[in-house]
Structure 1
C-alpha cells in the first residue's frame, strides 16, 4: 500500500502462489487537494482582513472535512484487503519524512499538509479491528525501483519508465508493488511481470 498526494493511496496484491502483483487499485487524492486549496484561499483572505478568530474556526472545519475523506478511503482499503485470504497490509515507515523536504516554499507547504501519517493510522486502526496484520517497511527506493527487474531509476511525471527492462508503468502502482516486495523478498517470494491493474479511483 503506497500513500501519496496525487493518489491518496494505491494498492496491489501479491501472494505466495502468484507473486506477480495484481488487482491494482487507486484512491484519488483530488478531493483532499481541493479541500486543502479551498481552505487555504479562505485563510489568506481572512488573514488579510485580520480575522484571526475565523482563521482558527475554519481550520477546525477543514480538519473535520479532511478526516472524513480519510476515513472513507481507509474503510475502502480495508474492504479491498478483506477480499484476499489471510491478508497482510504493508506500508512504508515514513517517520521524519518532512525533515528531508527541500523543495520550494510552496511545494513544502503543500507537502506538509499531506495527511499520509493520519491515513496510515486510520488504516492500521481499522485493520486491527478486522484482525488484519499491518507491517511497515523501509521506504528506500520504493518510488525509484523497477518492480519487475529491480533497476533503480527516476519516475517521469505520473509514469515510471525502466531504462533496463523497458517497463512503462504507473508510478504509484510501481511503488505499491515495491512496498509489497520489500516484505516478500525476505520470505523467499519472487517478482514477475507487471500487475493486471483494475485502475479504479
Structure 2
C-alpha cells in the first residue's frame, strides 16, 4: 500500500491498567456508600474519580496526538462503537460494566483532544478488528492477547492482538481496506 504509515511500530494501544484500578475503586466506594445509605459523599467520589480517570484518558489522547502530528494530513481513526457514552455516575451501582464504559469514555476524550488540535477524526466499523490480520486482512485465531494469522502465505504468524487491531482500524479509515 503506497504511502501507508499504519504499522505495528506506530500503533497506539491504550493499556488502561491504572484506569481500570481507579474504576474498580470507584465502584467499591459507591457500593460502601450504598450499604450505609449515605448519599452525601457520592458527588465527591464521582468528581474525584472522573478527574483521575480523565488524566489517564488525556495521557492516552496525548499519545495518539503525538503519533498523528508526525504525519502530514493526519487522520485519527476510531471504531464506531455501538453503545452510547454514559456518564461515570451511571456505573455507581455496577450496572455498567467496565468493558463497555471504558472504550466510549476514552474515545470521547481522545476525539475531543485531537479535534481541538486540528486533526481530523473518522470512525469505522469495529467488526472483527481484533481478529483481522493487519498484514493480509484475513481473519486469524484469537488468544487472550494475540492474534495468529493462519493464512499460508502471510508472514505475520502470531502478533499482539491490540497492536494488530490498531493497524487494521487505521487502514480501514485511510483506505478502502
1:53 is paired with a residue whose SS is coil
Structure with larger RCO (C-alpha < 8 A, sep 6+): 1
Residue 76 of structure 2 is aligned with which of 89, 95, 98?
Answer: 89
2:161 equivalent in structure 1: 171
Gaps of 5+ in 2: 86-93
More strand by share: 1
Q: Check conservation: 2:61, 2:114, Cα contact below 8 A.
A: no
Q: Deviations over 1:108-127 (max 9, x none)?
A: 6222432x223222222222
Q: Deviations over 1:169-194 (max 9, x none)?
A: 101111111112213442xx8xxxxx
Map residues 143-182 of structure 1 onto 2, 5 A cutoff.
Answer: 143-165=130-152, 167-182=157-172
The alignment covers a number of residue pairs equal to 165
Measured in 2, the distance between the counterparts of 1:87 and 1:59 equals: 35
Aligned-residue Cα RMSD (Å) equals: 2.6
Measured in 1, the distance between the counterparts of 2:84 and 2:128 equals: 14
- Aligned in 2, Cα 1:126/1:59: closer, same or farther, shift over 3 Å? closer
Q: Check conservation: 1:90, 1:134, Cα contact below 8 A.
A: yes
Tell me, yes or no, if structure 1 residue 117 matches structure 2 residue 90: no
- Aligned in 2, Cα 1:24/1:69: closer, same or farther, shift over 3 Å? same
Gaps of 5+ in 1: 1-14, 99-105, 190-201
Measured in 2, the distance between the counterparts of 1:77 and 1:179 equals: 13
1:124 is paired with a residue whose SS is helix
- Aligned in 2, Cα 1:59/1:128: closer, same or farther, shift over 3 Å? closer
Q: Check conservation: 1:47, 1:55, Cα contact below 8 A.
A: no
- TM-score, normalised to structure 1, is 0.70
- TM-score, normalised to structure 2, is 0.78
1:72 equivalent in structure 2: 59
